[in-house]
């Protein structure tokens, strides 16, 4: 197992109902556990980075039993799309990021994990 993946899986689990800040990165790690639906579960970890120092200032596990990730409100108006990117920093770890935007978490700790993409200042 890679160093990043190991570090992410040791991250503290967020509390049910805990307020989650706007996130810079969302990591998704597939597990070997099956959800009741028959699909594999994922660990989802949210992270906030200090843009000046690159220091992690928030990192928590937001879901451990999700088998679906719903992405809401990707379109702003009819023709404007938010820039959603996905990369793989290490084997078995997926990272979502949106340059110039943040992730607003909608649902955690249930079978469906969902988020929206919002501007830095937006709390909507």
pLDDT in tens, 30-55: 988 888 888 888 999 999 999 999 99
- Select from 98, 96, 103, 106 the least CA-distant residue to 82: 98
User: To 5 degrees, how large is the angle CA 121–CA 116–CA 96?
Assistant: 100
pLDDT of residue 74: 56
Q: Where are the domains of the chain?
A: 3-118
Rounded (to 5) percent helix, strand, coil in the chain: 5, 55, 40
Overall average pLDDT of the 86-97 stretch: 87
pLDDT in tens, 6-25: 999 999 999 988 999 999 99
pLDDT of residue 26: 95
Whole-angstrom distance, CA of residue 1 vs CA of residue 21:
29
Overall average pLDDT of the 93-113 stretch: 88
């Amino acid at each position: 197992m890679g160093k990043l993946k190991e570090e992410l899986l040791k991250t503290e689990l967020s509390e049910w109902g805990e307020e989650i800040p706007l996130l810079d990165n969302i990591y998704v790690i597939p597990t070997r556990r099956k959800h009741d639906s028959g699909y594999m579960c994922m660990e989802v970890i949210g992270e906030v980075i200090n843009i000046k120092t690159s220091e992690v200032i928030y990192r928590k596990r937001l879901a451990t039993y999700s088998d679906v990730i719903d992405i809401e409100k990707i379109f702003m108006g009819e023709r404007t799309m938010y820039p959603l990117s996905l990369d793989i920093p290490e084997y078995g770890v997926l990272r979502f990021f949106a340059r110039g935007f943040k992730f607003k978490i909608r649902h955690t700790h249930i079978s469906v994990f969902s988020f929206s993409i919002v501007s830095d200042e937006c709390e909507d």
